[in-house]
A and B are shown apart, each in its own frame.
Chain A
Amino acid sequence: MVRDGTRTVLTMSNDFKGDPKEFAVVVPVPTFLERGQIHIGDRALIDHLDAYSAPRLVEYFDPDPCQRYEAMDRAMKAGNMQAPMASRADELRAKALGVTVEAKYTVGEYDIVILSAKQSGGLEAWLTENGYTIPRGAGAVLAGYIKQNIRFFVAKVNLTEQAKLGFSYLRPIQVAFESPKFMLPIRLGMVNADGPQELFVFALTRDGRVETTNYRTVRLPEGMDVPEYVKEEFPDFYRAMFSEQVRKERGEAVFLEYAWDMGWCDPCAADPLSQEELKGLGVWWVGDPRGDAGGGAQQVFITRLHVRYDNAHFPEDLVFQQTGDKSNFQGRFVIHHPWKGGSECSGIDSYVTELRARRAKEAENLASLTSWSIQRIRRKMNLANDWSAPGDDPKWWQRMWPSN
């Protein structure tokens, strides 16, 4: 999602895995869209953006300061509605239903229809008659949008075009429009969902961080030390950590995973995006000679938001605002590898004491981040016979008479 002033470029990517002829999306859009306002994007750009901004695990080796990074690979998911291929719409029938087919386009592998409607019943009927499976409850949601003069962007896969183009996956659809509304409709996505939905929002702006104005935007914990073994199961750890944070915020918050000036990163999970890539995502002001982005500065700020939403906790669509906050934030966790060298040097005793305290702390951190049991964590840290097992701090008399 690219936003500056009233201009928005929305790139919708999804991880649809089924038969392409079963794929369809219905997206409420605030304005009519001309053919030129619709574009097919490159999924590699989304993947790159995802990799660049992904939560990361940073490793430090004691006392060697070298470091490596590992990024988690995750896919972006968008709410979609599944429907079989539709037959051609009957204009008269549409009129009778109060549905206006404002435009029809074939863009890339997609057949796109822009609809407006007078009442939700008509729209539901039109969608059903044209072969879209409308989940129960969608009518009520559609009704709320209709009176606000919102158009519906309906896309499905044109199999002939797809075969001609030869893509084995569905490319993201991009739309560009001008509207004061800075929001993301999530309510339709909840209608046919069994449980909570996951949504990642990558917002690219000129001035600073994006936050929600009708829900709390919360920074995820970051920079905490966790036990070494987390490296082996980072995705599991991250999921557990995220679920725990959602629970702590009573399921009502939007989480900030990354906020950074797109010009650089430290540490980098992936290289920053090039000007060309940013343009591909719809950042129209980069490299524009009329714009004020001269002198090498990209003037692009990325905000990565992660939402787990359901009807009970997210009754409204997400409404955003751009803030002036340019401070950098990253979802980052740290592991320290203890020094495995010889134990002959003079400072080894104090190092061992420090290490014990650190490992105890790491176990506590992990337990509080994920709500995993501390016993299980300690067991998994597998230090029972090591000289630095967690939780076995030397007693004060042991410290007083170490040779006893």
Chain B
Amino acid sequence: MTTRDAAPSLALSSRRFDPRWWQICCLSGLLTYGLFWLSFDVPPTQVVATIGVALGVQWLLTRALKIPTFEWKSALISGLGLCFLFRANEWWLAAVTASIAIGSKFFIRWNGKHIWNPTNIALALMMLLLPAQAWVSPGQWGSGPTMAYAMACGGAFVVNRSARSDTSIAFIAAFAAILFGRSLWLGEPMTIPIHRLLNGALMIFTFHMISDPKTTPNTRAGRILFACLVAAGAAFVAFVLFRPNGPIWALAALAPTVPLIDRILPGPRYEWKRPVAGPFWKGDSREPMAARAGDFAGGRVLGAGRV
């Protein structure tokens, strides 16, 4: 964020609307729905601990690393995401998870960009290190078509706003192609892949996790390539390893390929408050300049090695 951004013309200001506001609205709505309609096993202490710690760690690290802007919206988004995905018996495990999520943004960086989506890496690490204490319940959203539709719409709006619809659309298209292809090959009825696609957790992953503009490649081609890789990885986890939460594992495992993809397909880095690129079908033409030093969480301090 620089001060240059803060003097827009009136026409431009509507397009400068921070897409994270929409993310926050969507995620809060989903959390409320999950807690009160679907009776998720998330006690209030865990919600408070997760969001509180996410905001607290963001604030502390912002201060400690002398970063000019306290990005509370990003921290809140990570916290909300963890609230309805992460499950544990102890509230303090949720607090640890939130710290990992936020800490990863500040400390695991390459070329001035953090590598992992904070929610994703925190979930993957906790499930890997404490398999008996931490888990994600992918079935708990059910598969009501209406609900999948509502989430798809809500999510589509968000990704469109943050100019990264292409990642979500490419991922869900590639994953659907794999699911339908596999069922066709096996001779299964098509109700099976449809049922798998209507999974609420998959929709949340598609529109609120893999779509993160900060951790996806900088170019359209790169993002589509990355989304296809993650879809293939998710299918590998589900149908070769037979483990749940395929998309989460695949995204965590493949995120380190993003710097590589950016190297092969270089492009300007994403910023939250820059004029957005418009709908995905209009291409990247409105994403003009190279990233600035004040980029997101701590770019000024930690992004020194950027090319």
Contact = CB atoms under 8 A, between A and B. Distances in A.
Interface of A: 120, 140, 143-144, 147-148, 179-183, 207-208, 211-219, 249-250, 252-253, 311, 315-316, 319, 321, 323-327
Contacts of B137: 211, 213, 217, 323
Contacts of A326: 89
Given A180-B242, A182-B242, A321-B135, A250 B195 contact: no
B192 to A, nearest CB: 5
A154 B38 CA distance: 40
B196 interface: yes
A326 B41 CA distance: 12
A316 B135 CA distance: 22
Given A321-B135, A324-B134, A253 B142 contact: yes
A250 B144 contact: yes
SS of A interface (majority): loop
Given A140-B189, A315-B189, 9 more contacts: A144-B186, A144-B192, A211-B137, A213-B139, A218-B39, A315-B191, A325-B41, A326-B89, A327-B89
A320 to B, nearest CB: 9
Contact of B140 (A216, A315, A316): A216
Contacts of A249: 142
B196 A316 contact: yes
Contact of A214 (B87, B135, B144, B196): B196
Contacts of A148: 186
Contacts of B87: 323-325
22 contacts: A140-B189, A144-B186, A144-B192, A147-B186, A182-B242, A213-B137, A213-B138, A213-B139, A213-B244, A214-B199, A249-B142, A252-B142, A252-B144, A315-B191, A316-B192, A316-B196, A324-B89, A324-B133, A324-B134, A324-B135, A325-B41, A325-B135
Given A182-B242, A324-B88, A325-B41, A211 B187 contact: no
B195 A315 contact: yes
Contact of B185 (A140, A147, A218): A147
A180 B241 contact: yes
B188 interface: yes
Nearest to B238: A319
Contacts, number: 89
Contacts of A218: 39
Interface residues of B, number: 37
Contacts of B264: none
B11 interface: no
B143 interface: yes
Interface in B265-280: none
Contacts of B191: 311, 315
A84 to B, nearest CB: 28
Contacts of B131: 324
Interface string B81-118: 00000011100000000000000000000000000000
Contacts of B245: 213
Nearest to A311: B191
B141 interface: yes
Interface in B142-170: 142-144
Contacts of A140: 187, 189
B107 to A, nearest CB: 27
B243 interface: yes
Nearest to B201: A213
A214 B139 contact: yes
A222 to B, nearest CB: 12
A324 B187 CA distance: 36
B73 to A, nearest CB: 31
A52 B272 CA distance: 57
A54 to B, nearest CB: 23
A150 to B, nearest CB: 10
A321 B187 contact: no
Contacts of A316: 192, 195-196
Contacts of B142: 215-216, 249, 252-253
Contacts of B243: 180
B234 to A, nearest CB: 13
B139 A217 contact: yes
A253 B87 CA distance: 20
A323 B39 contact: no
A218 B245 CA distance: 19
B24 to A, nearest CB: 26
B7 interface: no
Contact of A208 (B39, B132, B144): B132
A148 B134 CA distance: 30
Contacts of A315: 189, 191-192, 194-195
A94 to B, nearest CB: 21
Nearest to A326: B89
B187 A217 contact: no
A144 B138 CA distance: 24
Which of B88, B134, B188 lies at the interface centre, i.e. has the most chain A CB atoms within 10 A of its CB?
Answer: B188
Contacts of A324: 87-89, 130-135
